[in-house]
């Protein structure tokens, strides 16, 4: 009977399988090692490729945005200097007054008559002193007698001044131009010394009060331009006029004040507002926040290349940032930033740099950059 051989492909597969089994069984056992062989560094090893973009520092005027409140430029609580009954209210509540206008009238009682008497006694004392002067020149009056006449004139002057002051106290006047913002008495009321009966405010100018974080206080100084933004969107120009020298114990923030004009006398005193302070101009680089990292000391830093294509990790100061752009200082005026591959290289390492083109940053907005 004639035996039929398997196909050639099958025979070839069987043969290769047998050879593989023999090689595995008779392989060089001594060639096996417990540890992997040391890798030999090859000269001309390929450098890590990174993408870089050239950036030039730009002028930037940072802004410090604070939440605060508006107060009248000047405000005074009106208090009674003398006790008495209110007999007249020359100024109505909410009425504008000028400096020197009478705001309130108390009963004068016998003050005018007493003042007339004191002025007559002063005139008499002055006449007696004038007569004694001629006697003194002729040595017809003793020195003690002359001194007593001088003392009498001084007492009369003091009495007249006291009564005039008391008469002024029952007719209090406005210390500055403003508006009578509060009036707590009516005609016929009895007021006591020291009692508050009204409030006068000067709202032709306003003062914006806010608190600056301690990290920003060092860059603030009186005279910096500012802007006050109201809740209705109105923007008013202002000027920083005060920066506290000591931080608040509870918040560790520094009180700041800015003054602004209110020529229309809008009712803004006591309202909330946003104070925007324009800080001195600085040279900054605009970059993606994704390019910021921490160095060994925990400081913000940015990776870039030097002229020899070696990686540099330079600490930077964050001036301002938003979701798309970070503005930093501390980098060279012109720098090659690593925009792609920075996470795979270390400071001091030489790399192969590939420069990529980016959109213009004249408007201060960066083109989207790749994350590391």
Q: Are the C-beta atoms of 181 and 76 separated by less than 8 Å?
A: no
pLDDT of residue 4: 61
pLDDT of residue 116: 86
- 282-287, strands of its sheet edge to edge: 58-60, 282-287, 326-329, 317-321
Q: What is the mean pLDDT of the chain?
A: 85
How far CA 215 is from CA of 11, 84, 220, 242, 318, in Å, comes to: 84, 54, 10, 17, 12
DSSP tally for the chain: helices H, then strands E: 4, 21
> In this model, does residue 79 exceed pLDDT 50?
yes
Query: What percent of the chain has pLDDT above 70?
Result: 87
Q: Are the C-beta atoms of 360 and 70 separated by less than 8 Å?
A: no
Cα separation, 70 vs 203, whole angstroms: 10
Q: How confident is the model at residue 360 (pLDDT cuts 50, 70, 90)?
A: very low
CB atoms within 10 A of CB 207: 20
Q: Are the C-beta atoms of 219 and 277 separated by less than 8 Å?
A: no
| 231-252 pLDDT tens trace | 888 899 999 999 999 999 999 9
Cα separation, 253 vs 278, whole angstroms: 18
| 307-343 pLDDT tens trace | 999 999 999 998 888 888 999 999 999 999 999 988 8
> In this model, does residue 145 exceed pLDDT 90?
no
pLDDT of residue 16: 74
pLDDT of residue 23: 67
> In this model, does residue 154 exceed pLDDT 50?
yes
More confident residue, 302 or 14: 302
Query: Backbone phi, then psi, for 165, in 5-degree steps?
Result: -65, -45
Cα separation, 300 vs 286, whole angstroms: 15
> In this model, does residue 372 exceed pLDDT 90?
no
Q: What is the pTM of this model?
A: 0.62
pLDDT of residue 45: 66
Helix (H, G, I), strand (E, B) or coil at 217: helix
- Where b means 16+ CB within 10 Å and e means fewer, 119-139 reads eebbeebeeebeebeeebeee
Give the β-pairing of 317-321 and 311-315: unpaired
Q: How confident is the model at residue 147 (pLDDT cuts 50, 70, 90)?
A: confident
CB atoms within 10 A of CB 256: 26
Q: How confident is the model at residue 6 (pLDDT cuts 50, 70, 90)?
A: low
Helix (H, G, I), strand (E, B) or coil at 11: helix
Give the domains, in start order, of the chain with CATH numbers.
49-60+283-355 (2.40.420.20), 65-72+202-278 (2.40.30.170), 108-169 (1.10.287)
């Amino acid at each position: 009977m004639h035996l039929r051989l398997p196909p050639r492909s099958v025979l070839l597969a069987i043969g290769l399988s047998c050879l593989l089994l023999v090689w595995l069984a008779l392989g060089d056992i001594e060639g096996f090692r417990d540890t992997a062989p040391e890798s030999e560094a090859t000269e001309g090893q390929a450098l890590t490729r990174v993408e870089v973009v050239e950036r030039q520092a730009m002028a930037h005027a940072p802004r410090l945005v604070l939440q605060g409140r508006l107060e009248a430029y000047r405000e005074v609580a009106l208090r009674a200097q003398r006790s008495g009954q209110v007999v007249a209210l020359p100024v109505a509540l909410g009425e504008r007054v000028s400096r020197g206008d009478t705001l309130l009238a108390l009963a004068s009682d016998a003050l005018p008559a007493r003042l007339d008497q004191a002025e007559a006694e002063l005139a008499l004392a002055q006449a007696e002193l004038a007569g004694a002067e001629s006697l003194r020149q002729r040595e017809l009056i003793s020195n003690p007698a002359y001194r007593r006449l001088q003392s009498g004139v001084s007492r009369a002057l003091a009495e007249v001044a006291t009564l005039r002051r008391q008469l002024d106290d029952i007719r209090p006047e406005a210390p500055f131009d403003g508006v009578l913002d509060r009036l707590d008495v009516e005609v016929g009321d009895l007021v006591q010394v020291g009692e508050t009966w009204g409030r006068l405010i000067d709202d032709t100018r306003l003062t914006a009060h806010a608190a600056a974080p301690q990290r920003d206080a060092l860059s603030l100084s009186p005279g910096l331009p500012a802007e006050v933004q109201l809740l209705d969107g109105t923007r008013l120009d202002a000027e920083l006029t005060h920066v506290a020298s000591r931080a608040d114990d509870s918040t560790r923030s520094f009180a700041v004040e800015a003054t602004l004009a209110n020529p229309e006398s809008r009712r803004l005193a006591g309202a909330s507002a946003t104070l925007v302070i324009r800080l001195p101009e600085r040279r900054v680089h605009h970059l993606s926040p994704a390019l910021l990292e921490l160095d060994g000391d925990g400081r913000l830093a940015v990776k870039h290349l030097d002229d020899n294509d070696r990686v540099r990790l330079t600490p930077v100061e964050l001036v301002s940032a938003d979701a798309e752009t970070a503005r930093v200082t501390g980098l060279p005026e012109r720098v090659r930033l690593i925009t792609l591959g920075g996470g795979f290289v270390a400071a001091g390492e030489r790399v192969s740099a590939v420069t990529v083109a980016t959109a213009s940053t004249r408007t201060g907005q960066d083109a989207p950059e790749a994350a590391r």
